[in-house]
A and B are shown apart, each in its own frame.
Chain A
Amino acid sequence: MFDGLFNWFYQFQVSFSFLLLSAIGLAVIFGMMGVINLAHGEFMMLGAYATTFLAVKGVPLALAILIGALAVGVFGAVIEMLVIRRLYGRLLDSVAATWAIGLILSQGMLILTGPSIQGVSSPFGSFSVGAISYSWYRIVLGVVSLLLIAGLYILFMKTEFGLRARATIQNQPIARSLGVDTARMYTLTFALGSALAGLAGGLFAPTATIVPFFGTNYTVEAFVTVIVGGANALVGTPLAAASLGVINAALGTKYGLYIARVGLLLTTIVIIRVLPTGISGLVERWRMRPARQR
């Protein structure tokens, strides 16, 4: 009984953390800037490559992951200033441009480093409950994703940067006329979203084979989570990752990975139909209700 329950919980928290970490960078960029970054998977790939490259050279894994995230953040800032900045308010153009950036990155990496590079093994070893053995590293990923959400909450709700970012998102002309350098806020927000993608790539690197198309393994889940979560990254993404995580774990443990993937997509189709603004739209409406009744 306990073994089964633990197994289910373990699968749930693994699904949750993979969905959340894959999606959060995409969600920040989409929710805060209205830009759909189709190069998201490739940004994750860059993080994975940077992390692996450093870790193989002997840099401690945690430090390698952080440097990787930082590097992808800087790269994101450069991309924002060179390309994205010119395409605000032009959704389809930015989709095409980021798709092209993604292609350049994955193909470029293929040319530079070949079809795969030597990976790093996942640290911390494993433990057993009943007959099944589990990876400590994947438990750590769960803890990291919770800490990340808490950190982002503090960043956006409690700091001056967060206040400026929210002011810029809600109404750009007002923010500018109050002296907020909104162009800089966009650059920083895009850099943050990119760094989060890089962080996810780095965190996943020890669990996967490092190939130039590394990111494509996570993009479907990332997009599904963002669509289900809606525009508010802080509220929608964790709730979407949790609800999709339940479905993924339930179907996965009983029927295997393929059915779990099908279940994920079917759930998404149903949710888009019922809640076009995603879970955060629902939360927002629920939050507004008392104000309207007053």
Chain B
Amino acid sequence: MADAQPLLMLDNVSKRFGGLRAVSDMNLTVGQGELRCLIGPNGAGKSTIFKLIMGFERPTSGTIAFGGDRIDGWPTWKRARQGLSIKMQIPGVYPELSVQDNMRVAAQNHVASHEMAESIRGLLARVGLDGLAGEQVKNLSHGQQQWLEIGMALSAKPKLLLLDEPTAGMGPGETEATARIVESLNADGMAILVIEHDMAFIRRIARTVTVMNLGKLFAEGTITEIEANQDVTDIYLGRS
């Protein structure tokens, strides 16, 4: 795997909003089938990185490559069809539509219509929402909405899944269920990049961790290395 071409590569990416440098000269790679966590204090630029990868924002400078293609000029929908999926921080689901219709919106560009029902049933079971297909999404719990969004992201059969704080607002039971979902997806070979604050969750799932601070790459390593790194502790405590 070491010399294989990485799936996602951010090369010297910067993003400026007016006078504010949200991201500066950031380098980040995610390999095929890798599960990586992206952590850092609030305002470090983590969510901006996700927006740049998905194309909600365009980098001020630098390049983004995915699966060998340079994608930083592509519209979002094209990146999505190429195998990038995101579960956003605020549940990106349609509260007015049913669970089934939410899944259909997500699946229609990726699944043939005669396989749709079967595929949706399988994905809902995978994220623990079997039996809720007819329910209006606004009646689901917060955790269920998060899982639905993971289910929607999966229907694109992504090569790389971006999860922005998948356990935010969840109780311990729901967090554990989410960890199981993430692990089983990664075990199937899907590359996953997760933004999280919950260190217990990160310890549970992560193989490699990238730390950002003030828009820059701050440290990189295994979870053990990162937890032993005094500088990382310092930036979290505001000492740096």
Contact = CB atoms under 8 A, between A and B. Distances in A.
Nearest to B108: A160
B31 to A, nearest CB: 23
Given A170-B94, A170-B96, A164 B76 contact: no
B101 A177 contact: no
A171 B75 CA distance: 16
Contacts of B56: 173, 176-177
Nearest to B136: A291
A176 B108 contact: no
A166 B108 contact: no
A35 B106 CA distance: 26
A54 interface: no
A130 B110 CA distance: 62
B81 interface: yes
A173 B50 CA distance: 13
A171 B92 CA distance: 8
Contacts of A58: none
A164 B102 CA distance: 10
Decide if the interface of chain B is mainly helix, strand, loop or mixed. mixed
A175 B101 CA distance: 13
A237 to B, nearest CB: 19
B77 A180 contact: yes
Given A160-B108, A170-B94, A170-B97, A178 B138 contact: no
B85 A177 contact: yes
B77 A179 contact: yes
B190 interface: no
Nearest to A170: B94
Contacts of A182: 77
A110 interface: no
B77 to A, nearest CB: 5
A176 B80 contact: yes
B101 A163 contact: yes
Nearest to A166: B97
Contacts of A285: none
B76 A176 contact: yes
A178 to B, nearest CB: 5
B109 interface: yes
A186 to B, nearest CB: 12
B187 interface: no
Interface in B135-164: 136, 138-139, 152, 156
A178 B139 contact: no
Interface in B82-106: 85-86, 88, 92-94, 96-97, 101, 104-106
B37 interface: no
A220 interface: no
A282 interface: no
Given A170-B94, A174-B93, A177-B86, A163 B108 contact: yes
Interface residues on B, range: 20 to 34
A179 B75 CA distance: 10
A289 interface: no
A180 B97 contact: no
B96 to A, nearest CB: 6
Contacts of A173: 56, 76, 88, 92
A176 B101 CA distance: 16
B109 to A, nearest CB: 4
Contacts of B101: 163
A237 B81 CA distance: 36
Interface in B44-90: 54-56, 75-77, 80-81, 85-86, 88
B92 A180 contact: no
Interface string A32-71: 0000000000000000000000000000000000000000
- What 9 A-B pairs are tightest by C-beta distance, nearest first? A179-B80, A176-B76, A179-B109, A174-B92, A167-B105, A179-B81, A178-B106, A181-B77, A176-B77
Given A174-B92, A177-B76, A181-B77, 17 more contacts: A160-B108, A163-B105, A166-B94, A167-B97, A171-B94, A173-B56, A173-B88, A174-B88, A176-B55, A176-B56, A177-B86, A179-B109, A179-B110, A180-B105, A181-B75, A182-B77, A291-B139
Interface of A: 160, 163-164, 166-167, 170-171, 173-183, 291, 294
30 contacts: A160-B104, A160-B108, A160-B113, A163-B104, A163-B108, A164-B105, A164-B108, A166-B94, A166-B97, A167-B105, A171-B92, A173-B56, A173-B92, A174-B88, A174-B94, A176-B75, A176-B77, A177-B56, A177-B76, A177-B77, A177-B80, A178-B105, A178-B106, A179-B106, A180-B77, A181-B77, A182-B77, A183-B75, A291-B138, A294-B139
